[in-house]
A and B are shown apart, each in its own frame.
Chain A
Amino acid sequence: MSKAFRKFKAPILLGAGILFLVIGVFRGEVLVVLQKAVIICLECVGIG
């Protein structure tokens, strides 16, 4: 691993994370999360 990468891996990871997040928002993934989160998840509760 190059010295430069070692030094900048946190900012690179953060930048990539923010970029992914924005891409996800524009793809409409937020709606899928919201739709799942606003109804009682029977699997999570243990009913199935």
Chain B
Amino acid sequence: MAKHSKKLLRTGVQTAFTALSNGYLVGFLQGKIYTGPTKALCLPGLNCYSCPGALGSCPIGSLQAVLGSRQFSVSFYVLGFLMAVGALWGRFVCGWLCPFGLAQDLIYKIPFPKKLKSIPADRYLKALKYVMLAVFVILLPLFAVDVTGMGDPWFCKYVCPSGTLMAGLPLLAANTALRSAVGWLFAWKSAILAVILFLSLLICRPFCRYLCPLGALYGLMNKASFYRLILNKDLCIHCGKCEEACDLGIPVLTNQNSMECIRCGDCKNACPTGALHSTLDQLWAQKNRTGISGRSASSK
């Protein structure tokens, strides 16, 4: 498959998954959200449960909801879900299934005079997402509680631009009652969204790199997951095309399974010798070989 078609395939999968998981179209028209039983299930990406079309729940929102509740101080349900998805795919979810990742990717495709691989202090800014995870998603909802013992979803409330884009804007557009309640918080969250969307013009996936707590969690499992990248050193000619193709600036030759890698596959597609492949490609090739040898053995 040509490089261009492989990129189109990823955009197609991202779009299809976003459309499927946000398929409650009536919600967009009437300014309300879906209330069916599938809302109890978490979606793998950062998909706000207050998006009018959302058929499932955001795992980061759900984690804060359980931690901030009176009954529980740990969420086995959401952590178990994230561990299972992370064990299977790692940050493949970020590259292929996250709706806010798709939004950033689409904006990054818009031509701009200068595209950057990273911004100053990139190395330190990358650590911010772990602060978001530890402080805004876990510690504050757990310990900063009101008189009734309930904690706020701090990340959703003060940071999450995905919620503003997927829930805030469509709901306010269709719901006059909500529109009349808008105040400084919405202005603050809209400003964050505007900065992220503008940065997405310049650099690839600024939110995923620096702020996303979900990406931080999945990234921790990138090296352990079933889906990993493998470099065949015998085939590698050290041309550097993989690192050139990586918009996230990952040193592919030395660290194919970096915590920052969103598994977009651009490095794999750029490799002229096929030295880079995934565990899934390996499995596929093995299956094909077994199939061919099985067929030839049975025809003898």
Contacts and interface: CB of A to CB of B under 8 A. Distances in A.
Interface of A: 9-11, 13-14, 16-25, 27-34, 36-48
B35 A38 contact: yes
A11 B153 CA distance: 32
Q: How large is the interface on B (under 10, 10 to 19, 20 to 34, 35 or more residues)?
A: 35 or more
Contacts of A25: 77
Contact of A47 (B78, B178, B224): B178
22 contacts: A17-B80, A17-B81, A18-B84, A21-B84, A24-B80, A29-B75, A32-B66, A33-B78, A36-B65, A37-B62, A38-B33, A40-B50, A40-B171, A41-B48, A41-B61, A41-B156, A43-B157, A44-B49, A46-B163, A47-B181, A47-B186, A48-B185
Contact of B40 (A17, A20, A34, A43): A34
A42 B164 CA distance: 11
A13 B83 contact: yes
A33 B57 contact: yes
B14 interface: no
Nearest to A29: B77
B183 interface: yes
Interface in B44-85: 48-50, 54, 57, 61-62, 65-66, 69, 71-72, 75-85
Nearest to B190: A46
Contacts of B152: 43
B189 interface: yes
A33 B77 contact: yes
Contacts of B181: 42, 47
